Amino acid sequence: MSAPHLDPSLARPALTLLSEEELAFRDAVAEFARGEVAPRVQAMEQAGQLDPALIRGYFEMGLMGLQVPEVHGGAAGSVMMVTLAVEEISKVDAAAAIMVDVQNTLVAHPLLSAGTPEQLARWMPRLCTDTVGAYALSEAGSGSDAFALATRATQVEGGWSLTGRKLWITNGAEAGLYVVFATVDPSKGYKGITAFVVERTAKGFAVGKKESKLGIRASSTTELILDEVFVPDADVLGPVGQGYKIAIETLNEGRIGIGAQMIGNAQGALDAAVAHLKERRQFGKPLAEFQGIQFQVAQAATELEAARLMVYNAARLRDAGQDIAQAGAMAKLYSSQVCERVTSLAVELFGGYGYTTDYPVEKFYRDAKIGTIYEGTSNMQLQTIAKGILK
């Protein structure tokens, strides 16, 4: 990869941190988002689901296996590439972006880090070409206390029998492959947790209720029901009892993806607001010429740029093999906070128009809230950051 692009004419400092290849990739995804995602946003929002044709487009463009080695059909890319893809799609629709994020950070990543050669050869080509994946950790009684799992894995001849219910599973409706966490021995606490790969076609497995949500409505969020689902020994991911390590490492990387979603969503809202300010006239001149409004926009753009730099830094650290627990938590915490502020401001800058569904900013505003909740609430990020500082 070439040296970072240092063109001083670039509008935002974060872009100087990207190589020529990364800038070209970012631009290609941006073009795809404008051409393929944008025309579908309203229909997908109303239907509460992603257009299957768009999902096929993700596979055709190689966005569903960005870090997967070429031998398995992937792009052999980086976390930074995932970050850029999620950010660019989120500028148009955060709901459409989260599928790409989960596929790469929560499904492909744990398989790449803990899977056997046989598992990789079996599942990776599918995840890169036609199969959506999902990550199943949360339960009704296991949210921030992620390892208080009730889903039980009982050893049987030739494998394991899984019984339980999972909740809040992103991509649940579309997925054909699920990384499921269950405990083999509740008395061992987190040391009993084990990761399994479960196929949608497995007997006893079912997708349950689909949630109706405030934001990212086109992204499916479902319940999973496991009723004595047989999982062969060959489909255990990593060592038995080591699932908690896989889960933690996966969520650390996943938080970079959520940070990318938040900065993209915020940028989309700010771009829409700036365009409106240049067109909307009051008291004989465009709103953009009022200094009070200029200062608000400047403050929002500054905070957004700071959040982008934090997200990019966490991605770079991850690609360099560094510990990103604290950097990822900081990036997710701050980017989600900034996204809430920027999208709220965008609604206000649109005035009454901003409160209607005829204009895009109300959706950016609704889509922002999830960033402070999933893949670790803001309070959990603060706890992680504090532990790192005070250790």
| Distance between CA atoms of residues 202 and 9, nearest Å | 55
- By three-state DSSP, how is residue 166 classified? strand
Place of tokens 């950010």: 87
Considering the candidates 22, 139, 340, 375, report the single residue annotated as catalytic. Answer: 375
CB atoms under 10 Å from CB of 5, counted, come to: 16
Confirm if 133 and 180 have CB atoms less than 8 A apart: no
Strands (E) in the chain, as ranges, are: 133-136, 152-156, 159-170, 177-183, 193-199, 205-210, 221-232, 236-237, 281-282, 285-286
| Distance between CA atoms of residues 201 and 292, nearest Å | 58
| Distance between CA atoms of residues 38 and 374, nearest Å | 24
Q: Helix 79-90 and helix 291-319: axis angle, to 10°?
A: 150
| Distance between CA atoms of residues 34 and 32, nearest Å | 5
DSSP letter, residue 139: B
List b or e across 227-243, with b for residues whose CB sees 16 or more CB atoms inside 10 angstroms. eebbbeeebbbbebbbb
Confirm if 45 and 37 have CB atoms less than 8 A apart: no
| Distance between CA atoms of residues 90 and 77, nearest Å | 20
362 tagged catalytic: no
Region of residue 363 (phi > 0: left; psi between -120 and 50: alpha; otherwise: beta): alpha
- Of 181, 368, 359, the residue nearest 266 (C-alpha): 368
Strands (E) in 151-220, as ranges, are: 152-156, 159-170, 177-183, 193-199, 205-210
Residues involved in catalysis:
375
